[in-house]
Structure 1
Amino acid sequence: MKEALDRQLARLRTRLAKTPLPRFFSWWGSELVACLPPRWRRIFSGNSETLLLQPTDEAILVLREHEKEISGFGQIAASASAEEQAAEFRSMRARIENPGLRTVLCVPESRALTRVLTLPAAAEDNLRQVLGFEMDRQTPFKADQVHFDSRIVSRDPATRSLRVELTVIPRGVLDPQIAAIAGGAIELDGVDVRSEGVDGVRRGVNLLPPERRARRRDMRLPLNLGLAALILILLVFNMSESLHNRALAVETMQAEVDKAAVAARDVLALKKTLQDSINGANFLAERKRNGPLLIALLDDLAFRLDDDTYLERLSVENNQIQLQGQAKNAAGLISVLTASPFLANPKLEGQIQPDPRTGKDRFTIVAEPKDVPVDQIIAHGPAKPAEPAADDVKTEKAQQGDAREASDGAP
């Protein structure tokens, strides 16, 4: 189960390595780390700082590699006991404040076998297993007789192939050398091949089997997980705050809208009250202006009706004038009232009933009021009876004179 999981992880790492994402994240991480203080840079740089152990006949040289720069750090006497060598190495290591400090044993290039192979690109997903099958063909050893590792030199997309540098060292050479360093008490993170001298270049492989490598706690994984959890928490908090702020803004706006609506309703109520007040104040004026002028109407009726006609009731209601009274000739009143400038469409309502007590006809006449301007009524006034002619006046005076003379001559 574990081997299958390792193979799947190896395939995922291989596919990820083919993308530009690793280079981008490497550049981005280096730029971010460069902005941190030195102590934090050492923590975040992880395995960028390494102690190199290079055994010689007289001593074990300890070199310090930091950001691809190698410098001498100290040495441990080869004649010292294993306990003294381990204690000396621990004291050296304690001088470097870097929890991710790695320890790598460097083997001279003369003791390792290096071959460059051309393999299909499909072999990259399971490269170590493929190299194990090719070991007896490419080297004089079998896979179980050596410690080996590889690194990809180049990829050729056109031919779908890759060039792999295979580094092999016999187990009989490497195992005794590991055991000779402090009796194997020093935990190693890897074994690499390096050229001679202080300024020698490392090959960049790890010949130490995975089960024999130092088990160190990689702080990057929990740190990355913690940062991811923190980012998630901050994101959720930010979203919740945004939603909360939006809800508050909506509530504030709703309160303002409700307040404006109440103010608008108050304005409408005040406007209606004002309009009602205006209408109430103008009601009587409108009724007086739109209705007939009663004084002028009474004056006109008094002028037009004969002396043997009198009114018992005069009412003006719902744009209708009603006349009730008694007259010698009630039917003839219609023609008389038609000539009135204040009445329109006069007509009898009901039947004419004779009154035996007075000997007259009781009538009810209804008519509609005419719109007569007040200024016209004031200017002209009601219609006046025609003046008698001059000859008629003279005749009437002569008759009156003859009558007086006849009365004077009488005995």
Structure 2
Amino acid sequence: MLPEFLTWWTRQMADLAAPLLKRLPNNAPDAMLLTPGVGGTLGVSVRHKGQIGILPGLPAAADPDQLRDMIARRRRREPVMIRLTRNPLVRDVWLPAAVEAGLDRFLTYEMDQLTPFKAADVFFAHRVLGVDRRKAAIHVEITLVPKVWVHALLDRLERAGIVPAALEVPAGLNVPAGGRTTDVMAPKGGMRCIPLRHADPTRRTRQRLAWRTAVAASGSLALATLAEPLVRQSMALGRVEAQVAELRPRVHEAEMLRQRIAAGLAGSGRIAAARQQAGQPLAILADLTDSLPDDTWLTSLSLRRTRLVLEGHSTAATRLIAALASGKRLHNPSFAAPVLRAETGGEVFTIQAEVTP
């Protein structure tokens, strides 16, 4: 629905603008115009901003290099066009309105049905002269120039490395109000342009496909360029994860070993702490041996944690308190029971003391 509305709106705007466009000055494109003359001569003129300036012509005897140099000296950057003085062939046809969007392609396919020529044998242009909405048809004017008319000239220019853009021919039928031209570079003022190269539908399809392929390739390249750092980072992360997975058993083994070592250290620490709390029996015996005099012997020794209880005989038990207090590991020695006189003449004692780890 929307395309039909846009087409109708465009036609209405063209109908309204047609009278105004007729009042505009000549807006033909700038170009170098080559006009075939008698005996192979070429007339040269330059159109700039609608004004045509006549230049010296080119002789028929000029070879390709001379022809190229002569045109290069006279030409700026405008395209080269061939201006014909003979009238083109013109054909009016009515066509279904449905072909208007692809009219150039339709005429290329149906040229031999609409005219006595094949599309490959002519240069052609077309313009829509009117629209019959009731019949859903368009009135089309086809302007034809057989290629044999300009074949020799085009071959001569091709040898000189010159590629004309279009043919300028005298206008055919007058365009009524509301007529629309679809030619490339169609000038006003009694002349029309016929492009020398119509886009071949197959070639156009291939070009469109090539363009889309190029755009897709460019987009893919851009995406690849943007994604390359992410891909590299992902690959590096994958390698790191693989290395981590490979080292995980070793790490687990080392962790278990570390836990065992920590448990062993904790156990040895607890043992050492218990030993320190309970005292060291051999060290205590050595200290007692050094502290007690020779006339003293023990009948009982009890060590419970840090409490040491000694029982024995001595000739003078009272001096044992001072002797034990002078030791390194025994503190606060005292009698735990009264000293008794033995039948043999000695004294029986019970002494308690605190053991320092």
Q: Which has the higher contact order (CA 8 A, sep 6+)?
A: 2
| TM-score under structure 1 length normalisation | 0.37
Relative to its length, the structure with more strand (as a share) is 2
Larger radius of gyration: 1
Give the structure with the larger helix fraction.
1
